């Protein structure tokens, strides 16, 4: 009987390399900042949609009033000018509102709490 080939032992499993704490902290901080930026951007666009919707409905109401009451076109022009002025004021406030939201998110997130240095006990 021929000799059996020796059995190969499986290679020991390598544990994934651990990231150093400074690299991990940088990645976590970058993710937090990115999330704050995304929420600030969505706040801006949601605000824009709301302001644009309010403006469009107000102008539509004014045009309907002109048609229904056979109103004066000069009065309509004045009211639409006022609506447009208010719309532009509201639109120019949106970037400031978004920056405040971004800064608030960063403050709310804050710095991460210190990591636990003591190992947890195993219950027996």
Please name the residues in contact with 20: beta carbons below 8 A apart, sequence gap of 6 or more: none
Helix (H, G, I), strand (E, B) or coil at 119: coil
> Are 105 and 39 contacting, i.e. CB atoms less than 8 angstroms apart?
yes
> Are 41 and 94 contacting, i.e. CB atoms less than 8 angstroms apart?
no
Tell whether 4 is covered by a domain: no
DSSP state of 111: S
Tell whether 69 is covered by a domain: yes
What pLDDT does 90 receive?
Answer: 96
For residue 32, the enclosing domain spans: 21-107
Tell whether 121 is covered by a domain: no
Tell whether 116 is covered by a domain: no
This prediction has a pTM of 0.63
Q: Could you give the number of structural domains in the chain?
A: 1
Tell whether 39 is covered by a domain: yes
Q: Does residue 5 register a pLDDT over 90?
A: no
DSSP state of 84: H
Tell whether 40 is covered by a domain: yes
Most confident of 30-39, 61-70, 113-122: 30-39
Q: Does residue 96 register a pLDDT over 90?
A: yes
């Amino acid at each position: 009987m021929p000799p059996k080939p020796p059995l190969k032992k499986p290679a020991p499993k390598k544990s994934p390399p651990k990231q150093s704490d400074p690299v991990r902290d940088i990645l976590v901080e970058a993710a937090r900042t990115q999330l704050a930026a995304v929420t600030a951007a969505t706040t801006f666009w949601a605000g824009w949609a709301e302001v644009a919707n309010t403006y469009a409905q107000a102008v539509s109401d004014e045009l309907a009033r002109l048609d229904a009451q056979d109103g004066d076109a000069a009065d309509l022009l004045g009211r639409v000018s006022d609506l447009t002025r208010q719309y532009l004021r509201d639109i120019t406030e949106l970037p400031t509102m978004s920056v405040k939201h971004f800064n608030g998110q960063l403050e709310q997130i804050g710095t991460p709490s210190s990591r636990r240095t003591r190992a947890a006990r195993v219950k027996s």
